[in-house]
Amino acid sequence: MSRTTNTSGTQWPARSMVLLLLSLATAGASAFYTIHFNPEVRFLAAAWHQKSMALKSGVSELPETGRPSPPSRVLFCGGSSVLVGIHPPSVEAELGVPVINLGMAAGMGPDVLTQLALNEVRRGDVLIISLEPDLLTMEQTRSMLGSQISWATGNPSWLGRNSPADWGVSLSHLRPGAYHLWTLAGKVLMRKPLYRYDPSELKDGGWQEIAARGDDPGIPVFDFSLTDQGRDLLSRVRRVCDERGAKAVYLLSRHFCPPARESVHREGISRFIQDVNAILDVVGPQTQRYSMDRGKFADTPWHPVPDEARRGSGRTGAELRLLFREWHNRE
């Protein structure tokens, strides 16, 4: 094991250097694969491209003076419950202002999801925070997917970190990981599609018209109280929006709840919303935020089928209209 190379009188640990170079080369190849070929990253990068187009076309700057009412734009921020569940044209039909769906994937982590939205917030906007409750009620670690999408879309600023160590950590996330490798191998062997969603499902305004279906959407899992992390995040969102002359509100995404869990679920939501409401206004009556009708959901409890997404978005638009009127009256 201790073979060394003698070059001009200096001994070098040849094998260690080979192992180091091999590791670096593997890391480089992993990063290249992750950014350009990883099916999940490719899909989400395409989703972001769609949203960027919507952001460019939906810009209508307000004059520097004057009260921003009604809002100039409505931005929805969250994970895939927003990506799949918020159909911008249906909300726009109710509000009459540009609506942009900035939903991506909950796996990117709450910090990255909110930062990408905050980067776009301007004076007069209303930012609807619709993060899935588990992102705010359960301890969150740094997300590999968040780093991967940030780099793949050329937006490392979403990571919101500046120290060299932070950059090192986020770059080290550009790897596939065991889950991806094993499941990819399984899909290749079983000749299944490499990813369950297809970029062709992405529509204008940043909405995904989901095609996948599952036999059992599962149950939404989250705790009932905000974590300190969650509380800090919502407070920061509020502060940044206040500074920019925008408004932030929370909206619980529509989701599936099995009938057997309804009473526990209702109680949990009520406590969760109470916590959130101490920091942000909350949109609409919470009892209408879940459904026990399995047929309305696609492959997870947070993904409504397209028709349900359109209907639900229309209802959300109407709730927002009421909220905006209330704000207007208050002001």
Partner 1 sequence: MNFAEIRFWMALGAGLLAVAVIRFAVRLPGIRSQQAESSPERHASRQLDQWLLFGLGLGLLFFVGWLTAAVFLYVALVTYGGTRILLAGRLPAGPGMAMLILLQISPLVFFKYGNFVGNEVLQLGMNSLVVASIPVGISFYTFQCMSFSWDTLRGRRESLRPMPGLLHFLNYAGFFPQIVAGPIERRTSLLPQMENFRFQFSAASVERGTRWVVIGLFFKLCLGDNLSLYSMPGQVTESAWTVWMQNLLFGLRIYFDFAGYSLCALGVGHWFGISLSINFLSPYTSRNITDFWRRWHVTLSQWFRDYVYLPLGGNKWTAGVVPLLIVFLVSGVWHGAGWNFILWGLIHGLMVLAHRTAGAIRLNGTIGWALTMAGVFLAWLFFYQTDTAVLFSNLGTIISPPAYGPDMLRELVSSYASGDKVVLAGLLLMTGVVLLLELAGHRRHGDPYFYFGLFPVQMVMCVLTVLMAPGAQNNFIYFAF
Q: What is the closest distance, in whole angstroms, from the C-beta atom of residue 17 to partner 1 in the complex?
A: 9
Residue number, 1 or 64, with CB nearest to partner 1: 1
Cβ contacts of 315 within 8 Å, gap of 6 or more: 284, 288
Q: Read off the amino acid at residue 236.
A: R
| CB-based contact 233:111 (threshold 8 Å) | yes
Q: What is the closest distance, in whole angstroms, from the C-beta atom of residue 171 to partner 1 in the complex?
A: 9
Q: What is the closest distance, in whole angstroms, from the C-beta atom of residue 135 to partner 1 in the complex?
A: 15
Closest by CA to 106, choosing from 55, 145, 155, 137, is 145
Residue number, 68 or 160, with CB nearest to partner 1: 160
Q: What is the closest distance, in whole angstroms, from the C-beta atom of residue 218 to partner 1 in the complex?
A: 8
Please provide the DSSP assignment of 129-172 as one string: E---THHHHS--PPPHHHHHHHHHTT-GGGG---SHHHHHHHHH
Residue number, 93 or 169, with CB nearest to partner 1: 169
Q: Read off the amino acid at residue 218.
A: G
User: Rounded to whole angstroms, how far apart are CA atoms 312 and 213?
Assistant: 18
Site residues for partner 1 per CB under 8 A: 1-5, 11-13, 15-16, 18-19, 22-23, 26-27, 30, 141-144, 147, 164-165, 168-169, 172-173, 175-179, 181-183, 185-186
Number of H helices, E strands in the chain: 12, 11
Residue number, 17 or 322, with CB nearest to partner 1: 17
Q: What is the closest distance, in whole angstroms, from the C-beta atom of residue 36 to partner 1 in the complex?
A: 16
Residue number, 123 or 187, with CB nearest to partner 1: 187
